[in-house]
Amino acid sequence: MYNDKSVNENFHIARAFAIARESPDLDIFSGFSLDDQKQIRKLMIETVLSTDMAVHFDLLSRFTSQVDAKPDLSEWTDRTLLYQMLVHLADIANPSRPFHLARGWAERVIEEFCDQGDREAACGLPVSAMCNRVTMNMPRAQLGFINIFLKPTLNCFERAAPDFVRMALEHLDLTIKEWQGLDAGGLVLPPHLMPQPSPQAGQPEQAQQQPQQQQGSPAAGGKIEDTRAPPMQPQLPLKVVDAGPLPKRHP
């Protein structure tokens, strides 16, 4: 599918256009001229495809070069690269949220990866990188992602728009310390994500279902209360911000 290139991203953007075409009440393009529709479509495709992690380093390299040449973003005449980087940053920025949110999303991502690895193994396929439940270490995986992908991206944005990323960088510094502390305490995975022992002949069923203990868990005598992150609750009341009038559309 899609010649094995950005399959997930290509599918999402193609499906978005298909929904708009098939459902008149969801067609967000209907009020625009054909020329505007073409421009919007082109920008949407380029922006969504830029969220493929396979193009991260090339994208960041081009953005860094552009920031070096013109650190004032208001001077950029072609802002396609800026839009691509903004959407890409939003896609990878979960670790820069307050830690109770960052950990909650980290657990969900790790669970998705491990589930994929389990299915690959069950089908006799090679287990993809970062999808092996047996070797997964959540704190170290998060620290690696932060140091390799997120922090360099935020640092580049900081040079061009420091106010835009200041809070994210502050949260990120705290999140790094939290993950380092959990790693030092022996956390590998939350109990509900730990690999289950393989059933053995003659072993009672209840014993087979006992989750593995890990260093640092209460059952192993550690001091860290190793539980899944609490549910994420919205912080109300929400402040409504007036973003100004919408762009004019053709009748």
Q: Which residues are annotated as a binding site?
A: 91
In terms of Cβ atoms closer than 10 Å to its own Cβ (0-12, 13-18, 19+), residue 251 is exposed
- Report whether CATH 1.10.10.10 matches the domain 53-194: no
pLDDT at 215: 46
Given a contact cutoff of 8 angstroms between Cβ atoms, the answer to whether 102 and 171 are in contact is yes
pLDDT at 198: 64
pLDDT at 84: 97
- 162-184 helix and 151-160 helix, angle to the nearest 10 degrees: 160
Alpha helices in the chain (DSSP H): 7-22, 34-49, 56-69, 80-92, 99-122, 138-145, 151-160, 162-184, 205-208
**What number is the average pLDDT over the span 64-68?**
96
Domain ranges of the chain: 1-49, 53-194
Task: Express each pLDDT in 125-140 by its tens digit.
Answer: 999 989 999 999 999 9
- Using 50, 70 and 90 to split pLDDT, how confident is the model at 12? very high
Given a contact cutoff of 8 angstroms between Cβ atoms, the answer to whether 94 and 62 are in contact is no
Q: Which residues are annotated as a binding site for Zn(2+)?
A: 91
- Backbone φ and ψ for 126, nearest 5 degrees, come out as -60, 140
Task: Express each pLDDT in 207-229 by its tens digit.
Answer: 444 444 444 443 344 444 444 55
- 56-69 helix and 80-92 helix, angle to the nearest 10 degrees: 130
